[in-house]
Structure 1
Amino acid sequence: MQLKAVDYTAPDAAKQFTESLRNTGFGVLKNHPIKQETVAAIYQHWQEFFNSKEKDDFQFNVDTQDGFFPRSVSEVAKGFSVKDIKEYFHYYPWGQCPEALKAEIQAYYDQALTLASELLSWVEQYSPAEVSANYSQPLSEMINASEKTLLRVLHYPPFEGDEEPGAIRAAAHEDINLLTVLPAANEPGLQVQLKNGEWMDVPCDFGTLIVNIGDMLQEASGGYYPSTTHRVINPSGGRQEHSRISLPLFLHPTPDTVLSERYTAGSYLTERLKELGVM
């Protein structure tokens, strides 16, 4: 089985894309509106930030979860006991951010959110009637005026030989949110777990856009759209000397959005952040 890139400009792009999400939990887009040069510039500028001591001036706020998360507090994936080998910055329009990087990252946030909202409307459009009946409101309305949609700038540092045994860049996990929109990273490593338990490489051609379902959409759709397990494996050979930067946008509903009889978006997010050890 192989994930194929769907041409965003194709007449049946929405149908192809949602079929891929339904079958694998992932969709890959090409010829989408986000410019490759924009992403490349962000990767370069944030690599410089992560290489600097300035990052320590932006330590994350525990209550609001914005700012810089160093390796010492990196996430521990659910079911694992070892921290991921990564550091990252949580960007929200209302949160802290280095002034020199603010305009560029905000422009990208706005553009990615617009595209992510369109993709969510595709999911809504191709949800069968019995699935749509589970939605407490249209999916596209769940994110209106949401201040929880998060842009995470992830830095996986080069390997230095002192990594904790058993640690990998991102242990197997599922995302929490509705949809995640991710430009291809500057280094390979992302894999998705198939239904038979095998791992498949996600296409990483620079310029493609990777989208996956999060647990909140799985919950809201009664399991019709699967939140698929994925990971970022460790590099080998000469690639161990390379940093890896990625830029996922996590599309979140407003906290009072009802996902199911069990959860609101707010209660679900709090539960998962506690499991991850960052709250």
Structure 2
Amino acid sequence: MQLVAVDYTAENAQEAFVQSLRETGFGVLKNHPIQQSLVQSIYDNWQGFFDSEEKQDFLYNKGKQDGFFPQSVSEVAKGFTKKDIKEYYHYYPWGQCPDALRPQLDQYYNEANTLAKELLGWIESHSPADVSKHYSQPLGNMIKDSDQTLLRVLHYPPLQGDEELDAIRAAAHEDINLITILPAANEPGLQVQAKDGSWLDVPCDFGNLIVNIGDMLQEASGHYFPSTTHRVINPEGTDVTKSRISLPLFLHPRPDVKLSERHTAGTYLQERLKELGVI
């Protein structure tokens, strides 16, 4: 099995994309509306930010979770003990951000949210009736006016050779949210776990857009759409000297949105954040 990029403009794009999500939890799009030039410019500008000491002026707010998270407080994936080898910035439209970098992030945030609403419509349209009847409202409406949707600018620094044994850039994990939208990073490394336990490389051609199911959509769909385990492995050879930047947008419903009989989006998020030790 392999992940194949679906042409966003093709007549069968919706069916092929949703089928990929159903089978693997991941879908890859090419010829989509997000401008490659915008993504590249964000990568370039934020590489400069992570290379500077300015980042220390935007340290994260523990309560709000916006701002810069240094490697010293990097996440530990559920079931793991080693911190991921990464640093990152949490951007919300209402949160802190360097003035010079805000307009681009805001543009990308809005464009990716618009595309996400369309893709959620595709998912709902191609959900079987016995699955979609459990959606408490249209999937696209779940993210409408949400202030919880998070844009994370991720920086995986060059490896120095003194990293903790078994530590990798992002240990195997699942996302908490509804869906995640991710432009292909500037370096390879993203892998998704197949049903047989093997690891598949996610197509990383620059210009591709990667979409994956999160735990909240898995919950809302009664596990029809799987929240699939994925990771970012360490580079080898000369690639160890290269930074890797990626730009995942985690689409979160409003906290009051009902996901299932057991959970609203708010209660589900709180439960998972406690499990991860974030709160």
Give the shorter-chain TM-score range: over 0.9
Alignment of 1:99-248 (within 5 A): 99-248=99-248
Q: Which whole-Å deviations, capped at 9, do the CAs of 1:140-198 have from their partners, x for residues lacking one?
A: 11111100011100000001111111110000000000110000000000000000000
2: distance between equivalents of 1:170 and 1:42? 21
Q: After TM superposition, what 4+ stretches of structure 1 lie above 6 angstroms from structure 2?
A: none
Q: Displacement, 1:267?
A: 1.2
Q: Which whole-Å deviations, capped at 9, do the CAs of 1:22-74 have from their partners, x for residues lacking one?
A: 01100000000111111110000000000111111111111111111111110
Provide the residue aligned with 2:36 in structure 1: 36
Q: Displacement, 1:257?
A: 0.8
Unaligned runs of 5+ in 1: none
2: distance between equivalents of 1:165 and 1:276? 21
Note if 1:261 corresponds to 2:273: no
1: distance between equivalents of 2:259 and 2:174? 17
Contact 1:92 1:151 in 2 (8 A): yes
2: distance between equivalents of 1:257 and 1:142? 6
Contact 1:73 1:278 in 2 (8 A): no
Identity between Structure 1 and Structure 2 (%)? 72
Contact 1:75 1:277 in 2 (8 A): no
Count of aligned pairs: 279
2: distance between equivalents of 1:234 and 1:240? 8
Note if 1:277 corresponds to 2:277: yes
Contact 1:77 1:83 in 2 (8 A): yes
TM-score in terms of structure 1 length: 0.99
> Letter of the aligned partner of 2:186 in structure 1?
N
1: distance between equivalents of 2:18 and 2:161? 42
2: distance between equivalents of 1:60 and 1:157? 19
2: distance between equivalents of 1:32 and 1:142? 23
Q: Secondary structure at the match of 1:100?
A: coil
> Letter of the aligned partner of 1:93 in structure 2?
P
2: distance between equivalents of 1:273 and 1:237? 36
Note if 1:45 corresponds to 2:45: yes
Q: Secondary structure at the match of 2:114?
A: helix
Contact 1:86 1:157 in 2 (8 A): yes
Q: Displacement, 1:132?
A: 0.8
> Letter of the aligned partner of 1:200 in structure 2?
L
2: distance between equivalents of 1:186 and 1:51? 16
Unaligned runs of 5+ in 2: none
> Letter of the aligned partner of 1:49 in structure 2?
F
> Letter of the aligned partner of 2:170 in structure 1?
A
Q: Secondary structure at the match of 1:99?
A: coil
Cα RMSD, aligned residues only: 0.7
1: distance between equivalents of 2:32 and 2:245? 20
2: distance between equivalents of 1:114 and 1:148? 15
